[in-house]
Structure 1
């Protein structure tokens, strides 16, 4: 890191997460009983920044918290993780909040109230121009206004990675500026206005519709699919017992950005991210479950084939 310029800048949300364990995820109109509620630090931007900090990467978070006590607590926790908060604004009102329901298999259903995240506008992002222009990787999501994400992409001189979650319509101007798009299967389908893809071939076909340089689709327990030019790689995850999948996608994005900042090729970076995300689902909570670099490296199987040795999916 040179001066105050980090390796990675994360532009995104900060939330307080209320986690409730349930026997099954609620259906429309259904009332169910849940376990005791637990509060965790969350927000896709904050989660991804913590994932990067746990991996030892220098990272600055561009975003906003509110004027309530929860905001102060969240900021203290982020600083304790090693996230640089020089570009984290404080605005009047509550911090963003999310209610997370988790079933016995670890699957979740989430409702988000934006709170202070709605104040992350282009002018706030532009204050971080020096950091954005100097970063090796800029990572953003969609729990903040889209025009702020476009401002971040416009200022980026390194690699711009976008996690389009939650999925909303995106202007072509933004998609064309994305170097690596990281949707899950459902977000990919929404971006392409298509049915949910059922097979790897269908996922690859949809990914090729998007005007991004490369697309990495997270597939949950099936790993990830890297679609980069004429090549497609399906990366399988290690076998783990899932406790809570909350934050797994954020862990993947943070680890991917870390590996790209290190200079790894995209497939190698995605392989590293798959392993990190698999470790994250073995513990509850979002930020609390993010693994360290030592834990991810320890989980690597030395006799396993390298990503470039895997059989790709024909185009």
Structure 2
């Protein structure tokens, strides 16, 4: 991708880090990571992508191996900072973050968005160091020349909701599409059951053009739009490493939406992309995606959407 000539259709705001992952089967696997990288690489399977955020100066990022799939003109490297996330999963797939360098994202500000990115059709805001940072970006992007009609989507992390539910709810209102997991949806609604969280989200977006997509790991996702709720099952695959699947889902969904896909079609595609990610450690499946496999999985889910509530 020629960074001087091509303006991306979608801009992802998020970081590139290095993940150290431990599962019941393997301990201390070190790979490229970061929500921004997973989202951008997933989006690049469907559209042209620019990435804004912080980049680790760890040797694994040397040469920026995500080129040419992702335009990284908006990445800033902090000298001497090996941005890392140390993630441990138990036998039930529950994650514990032993090290979380997301606080470094306080250095991010909307003025770092390259001017040519401002013509993008959409922006996806990954979970940054805190929800206030996401809000700052969403507000600024809406106000900047050329971005007023752009579609804005965002994701979050459970820890961000626990720390500042009020700001995350404001972020929900600021987005065209908001993506969260089942535990995050329940925390956001401050309820203990998924059915109650979906009802709360339906009330929150009902009557507007906004929508929410709730991911449910190997069960697929729930699409909340208007007054209806639809369940989209995913392509079943054994999860070797679930890290980055949620971010990849959100990035793929955002890419489909800026390319004009209908929301349910976008959700099926995003489920298929996420199913590639969990099959191995790191984003290798996105760095060199097998498009035939991807399209086969999308086709397998084409008629599997079910309305579950209204």
Which interval holds the TM-score relative to the shorter structure?
A: 0.7 to 0.9
Q: Map 1:217-236 to 2 at 5 A.
A: 217-236=214-233
| 1:143-173 superposed Cα distances (whole Å, 9 cap, x missing partner) | 3343432232121431111111243324354
Bigger shift: residues 261-270 or 83-92:
83-92
**Residue 158 of structure 2 corresponds to residue 190 of structure 1:** no
**Residue 112 of structure 2 corresponds to residue 127 of structure 1:** yes
Bigger shift: residues 11-20 or 215-224:
11-20
Distance in 1 between the 2:277 and 2:34 partners?
16
Distance in 1 between the 2:55 and 2:127 partners?
16
| 1:85-104 superposed Cα distances (whole Å, 9 cap, x missing partner) | 21111224413211122456
SS at match of 1:245: coil
User: Contact 1:17 / 1:100 at 8 angstroms: preserved in 2?
Assistant: yes
Choose from 154, 157, 161 the match for 2:153: 161
**Aligned residue for 1:208?**
202
Distance in 2 between the 1:149 and 1:218 partners?
20
**Aligned residue for 2:281?**
284
| Structure 1 runs not aligned, ≥5 long | 24-34
Q: Map 1:99-178 to 2 at 5 A.
A: 99-103=86-90, 108-114=95-101, 117-122=104-109, 125-128=110-113, 130-154=115-139, 155-156=141-142, 157=147, 158-166=150-158, 167-168=160-161, 169=164, 170-171=166-167, 173-178=170-175
Distance in 1 between the 2:233 and 2:28 partners?
33
Choose from 14, 27, 50 the match for 1:60: 50
Note the C-alpha offset of 1:274: 1.1
| 1:58-93 superposed Cα distances (whole Å, 9 cap, x missing partner) | 211111135x4x0x5425234435221211112244
Output the TM-score relative to the length of structure 1: 0.81
| Structure 2 runs not aligned, ≥5 long | none
Distance in 2 between the 1:79 and 1:190 partners?
34
User: Contact 1:64 / 1:119 at 8 angstroms: preserved in 2?
Assistant: no
Distance 1:36 1:192, change over 3 A: closer
Distance in 1 between the 2:111 and 2:253 partners?
24
Note the C-alpha offset of 1:183: 0.5
Output the TM-score relative to the length of structure 2: 0.82
How much is the aligned-residue C-alpha RMSD, in angstroms?
Answer: 2.8
User: Contact 2:128 / 2:134 at 8 angstroms: preserved in 1?
Assistant: no
Note the C-alpha offset of 1:48: 1.0
Distance in 2 between the 1:305 and 1:289 partners?
22
